[in-house]
Amino acid sequence: KILVVGSSNTDMVIKAPELPRPGETVLGGEFFSFAGGKGANQAVAAAKLGGDVIFLAKVGDDELGKNAIQSFQKLGIDTSLIRSAKGLHSGVALILIDGNGENSISVASGANNSFTLADIDSIDEVLGQTEFVLVQLEIPIPMVEYLVEKCSEKGVKVILNPAPAAKLSLSCLAALNIITPNETEAEMLTGVKVSDEKSAEKAAHVLLESGVENVIITLGAKGSFFLNRVEKGLVPAFSVQALDTTAAGDTFNGALAVALAEGQSLKDSILFANRAASISVTRMGAQDSQPFRHEIIL
């Protein structure tokens, strides 16, 4: 099993000719609503690629939360650990996009901020059947650190996608099997400006020295650089016509967990994840753009 722990949001998007200035009302927009949140995006990516996924998330006491749970179930995701937080609303992102694609985003995390130690303890019953835990940083950091500590005690491997960028304790880093920052996140964690293979290697070394077993830095259209004690290398991206890179990283992480849980090598798993992410950038949206297993041709 792959246990994903993280956020679930509903993205409400209005596309209009112009972004409103403070105090201004702009008519003439078009409205779209999408399921989002890094946790949900990664859980859905893994499920669409054939992973056996269980998702621990917090939703609100509202219709958005109920709808989210239903959509996860339709994809075969085990939702038995998802709790609805009394009196709180589900996570919502309000996104305004203008005619040039410029955006303005406001997020109300709602129930995503209500993770408690007891919520994390609820995974005890499934950890015995879990090969990989996949987690991001859109839920409170102390809860992520508690999760990582628990998994390390039980010998369950953790893949941490440190997004959005935030600092993590050394003891947390030292307990990770895999960390998967993008260029910005790698810089935030190491102080090394990352833009190519060489700078990625330098940043990856800093993370390796912190005790992470395997470092994978995603480099957008350049692919992914990986480093551990015995091997390193750049796994180039697939060359595609990119249309919308939303959730490329989420697709990468969900796919990586699926391939690793199947027992594929680190390098083959990165190749699989690059392929899945490369397909997602050729299509609009987050979860809707993510490929199904039969679309992956290596």
What positions carry a catalytic annotation?
Answer: 250
248-261 vs 266-280: helix crossing angle, rounded to 10: 150
Residue 239: burial class (beta carbons within 10 Å; 0-12, 13-18, 19+): exposed
- Told to check if 219 binds ligand ADP by CB under 6 A, we report yes
77, HSE (Cβ side, Cα atoms, 13 Å): 31
Q: Tokens 């692919």 correspond to what residue?
A: 223
Is position 250 annotated in a ligand binding site?
yes
- Told to check if 165 binds ligand ADP by CB under 6 A, we report no
Residues 110-129 that bind ligand ADP (CB under 6 A): none
The least distance separating ligand ADP from the CB of residue 251, rounded to whole angstroms, comes to: 7
Is position 189 annotated in a ligand binding site?
no
If you ran DSSP here, which 8-state letter would residue 160 be given?
E
Is position 244 annotated in a ligand binding site?
yes
Residues 66-95 that bind ligand ADP (CB under 6 A): none
Is position 61 annotated in a ligand binding site?
no
Is position 233 annotated in a ligand binding site?
no
Take residue 128 and report the two structure tokens written for it. 């015995």
Among the listed residues 258, 282, 283, the one whose alpha carbon sits nearest the alpha carbon of residue 270 = 258
38-48 vs 63-74: helix crossing angle, rounded to 10: 20
Site string for ligand ADP, 182-201 (x = CB under 6 A): x-------------------
- Told to check if 6 binds ligand ADP by CB under 6 A, we report no
- Told to check if 238 binds ligand ADP by CB under 6 A, we report yes
By CB under 6 A, name the one of 240, 262, 264, 268 that touches ligand ADP. Answer: 240
262: three-class secondary structure by DSSP: coil
Contact region for ligand ADP (CB under 6 A) — 64-72, 143-151, 165-173, 243-251? Answer: 243-251
How far is Cα 191 from Cα 263, in angstroms, rounded to an integer? 33
How far is Cα 22 from Cα 135, in angstroms, rounded to an integer? 36
141: three-class secondary structure by DSSP: helix
Q: Give the nearer residue to ligand ADP in terms of CB position, either 182 or 199.
A: 182
Is position 246 annotated in a ligand binding site?
yes
If you ran DSSP here, which 8-state letter would residue 292 be given?
P
Distances (CA, A) of 33 to 12, 92, 183: 5, 10, 29
The least distance separating ligand ADP from the CB of residue 85, rounded to whole angstroms, comes to: 27
- Told to check if 245 binds ligand ADP by CB under 6 A, we report yes
Contact region for ligand ADP (CB under 6 A) — 48-56, 91-99, 242-250, 255-263? Answer: 242-250
Q: Give the nearer residue to ligand ADP in terms of CB position, either 18 or 244.
A: 244
54: three-class secondary structure by DSSP: strand
Pairing between β-strand 103-108 and β-strand 214-218 as defined by DSSP bridges: unpaired
List the binding residues: 9-11, 37-41, 138, 182, 218-223, 244, 246, 249-250, 274, 280, 283, 285, 289
Residues in contact with ligand ADP by the rule CB under 6 A: 163, 182, 218-221, 223-224, 237-238, 240, 242, 245, 248-249, 252, 274, 277-278, 281
